[in-house]
Structure 1
């Protein structure tokens, strides 16, 4: 199975779970990992600009990676997924959790 199909199936499952577990609009917690020395943290920050997001970062013990946690009110599960796709398409080397 190609990665595109796996990704589509993942997002469809996520959307279903989000509808089943929350009342929308709802606050959603995004988590990403990027290389500390990359522009990834700033890029992710800019993608959530003007959404009222609370963003916290934590460097790994050895300082190689940075965890980015974002609490933000989203209107629908589709909006959550759109933002995931926007981050993964625009931030090189990002890992979504």
Structure 2
């Protein structure tokens, strides 16, 4: 069963709780070896990695200046195309 993502509800929440532009923290969990795909989402920003205890997954955190809610949603949409990604 695949969860559906309510883009408009998330956008509304972002706009209600955030003053743009803002420094936004993206967090993703991906299979080990997929870090470069996550880094490509925001190539001009520093990415912090933390490997799982068994080394099968990597937690990636990227902080980036985002001009508006649509830019944040676009990053999550691109990330959803990475196989095995979990967006937090």
TM-score by length of 1: 0.81
Segments ≥4 residues shifted beyond 6 Å: none
Indicate the SS of the match to 1:47.
coil
Which runs of structure 2 are paired with 1:1-97 in the superposition (5 Å)? Answer: 6-7=4-5, 9=6, 11-36=7-32, 38=33, 40-50=34-44, 53-89=45-81, 91-97=82-88
Distance 2:14 2:41 in 1: 21
Figure out how many residues of one structure are paired with residues of the other and give that number: 88
CA-based RMSD: 1.7
* Higher share in helix: 1
Structure 2: stretches of 5+ with no match in the other structure:
none
Structure 1: stretches of 5+ with no match in the other structure:
none
TM-score by length of 2: 0.89
